[in-house]
Structure 1
């Protein structure tokens, strides 16, 4: 069963009962990312592509308490519930990534969270494999810096004929110390309902049923956050970001690939892998 106190202990909250303020949100966000991995490791949608009717208590048991992690549909949904029970004003948001548009052809794809604190809006995301923000991002026009990386929100124009009361499409962009700006995902500041992901669920189920990868490792997508960066393994591409400096390589050896998957999921990597 979902348990707020057990959840807080699991992600390392050691202080008094948390108050719904910005400092607490920053702490919970980063500790959540450092404790629980993003996890699609060769299993695709192992739960049968249940994105809407999620058994939150079961996901809480396996993904949170057993430390197996999950995707945005598990991690951000449970974190949304935790923040709501702690007194935060939160709502789900939908984003679109290049990979999602290519595979599923829909803009309602990635699931993350908007929090409102003292009249300011913040982006909250503990369910993205990375690289991305480690702490909440303020919805503003300023360039924001976290652990050597910079982030900005670039506002686009609304689509002709579409209700544009949410201010149009926004691109979340990121760059490291020596890399160019690149888009993490695009979104609208429009509160969503869980059933908004039903179309993606249907498309993902069809995609999963027909996909046949010759190399099982190509289905791997997992990510782990550490105190000053992230490690992401996508297929055989291994990316490490530390203090804004990026190192990427292709993992050819099968045994090394299996070791890296285990390291990212358990949070016990070889220091050489993160150099």
Structure 2
């Protein structure tokens, strides 16, 4: 599939007719060829459910999750040029705001409609009501009767591998994982949507959201809070995730967990900073910034 001709002028144009695309008027151009090469996707055709699922899965497999910048004391940039430099042209990853901001731009370039949303994460919340600190996407597929939930930036094995239809109560098998969306009564304008993953023989809440659109300015504020608030766990602990067709790797500080498709699980503690850097580079595909030093507590 080639994207080397002049940019298209309509969002619904064939992806084969565009190489770089203006996503927002104030934004630099998206290098779609470089992105697709980064995730190893070489499909063809018009925007469709099959394309959405395929590109979503390739992104999850191709670009790792990590929060290096907050641990080093800064908030990562959400500018498209910086996201491309980091996630596309470097051996780096990012967290939800970076992944899903980039993915939204890609989907719009491919001819999909995208509404940016925010969710309250419930993993580990134990009933507490958390602020909306997770970015996710609602996708309109040309010709499809349903919208789809897309999320390539959830740093958990309970995250989506493929986009799933926005339909309540239906179990979906997405690339080897099991998910469903349920409705939950809420005092807002509509009931909440809750994403659940089937884990350990039971359904577990991942996050809850409504369909209220969020703007880039909203994510700038939330991103700053998550990255710099002294109470944010992202400022104190290094988290990294890498998903392949056969394995899911999860790192929290020095604790490494390897979960394989056959159900086996391996846990170990990394010895020191040298081993941490090696594992990030070799197993996660993350090359730390030049001169980056992670303290023992990370």
Give every structure 1 segment of 4 or more consecutive aligned residues whose post-TM-superposition deviation is greater than 6 Å. Answer: 99-102, 210-213
Distance 1:193 1:47, change over 3 A: farther
**Which ranges of structure 1 fall in alignment gaps of 5 or more residues?**
268-275
SS of corresponding position for 2:30: coil
Deviation string, structure 1 residues 28-68 (Cα, Å, up to 9, x no partner): 11111111111114x426583256xx321122112212131
Q: Which of residues 77, 83, 89 is equivalent to 1:65?
A: 89
* Alignment-derived partner of residue 230 in structure 1: 248
Distance 1:121 1:229, change over 3 A: farther
Q: TM-score, normalised by structure 1?
A: 0.79
Aligned residues: CA RMSD: 3.1
Q: Which of residues 111, 114, 139 is equivalent to 2:138?
A: 114
Q: TM-score, normalised by structure 2?
A: 0.73
The correspondence of residues 185-264 of structure 1 with structure 2, limited to 5 A, is 185-204=207-226, 206-208=228-230, 219-243=237-261, 245=263, 247=265, 249-251=267-269, 253-254=271-272, 256-264=275-283
Structure number with the bigger relative contact order (C-alpha 8 A, sep ≥ 6) is: 1
Number of paired residues? 252
8 Å contact from structure 2 (residues 181, 196) kept in 1: yes
* Alignment-derived partner of residue 138 in structure 1: 165
SS of corresponding position for 1:245: coil
SS of corresponding position for 2:148: strand
Distance 1:24 1:147, change over 3 A: closer
Deviation string, structure 1 residues 102-139 (Cα, Å, up to 9, x no partner): 9xx85321111111221211111111222122111111
8 Å contact from structure 1 (residues 100, 109) kept in 2: no
* Alignment-derived partner of residue 90 in structure 1: 114
Q: Which of residues 197, 201, 204 is equivalent to 1:182?
A: 204
Determine the C-alpha separation between the residues in 1 that align with 2:92 and 2:270: 25
**Which ranges of structure 2 fall in alignment gaps of 5 or more residues?**
1-28, 287-298
Determine the C-alpha separation between the residues in 2 that align with 1:99 and 1:11: 27
Hey, which of these two has a bigger chunk of helix by percent? 1
Residue 65 of structure 2 is aligned to residue 38 of structure 1? yes
8 Å contact from structure 2 (residues 40, 58) kept in 1: yes
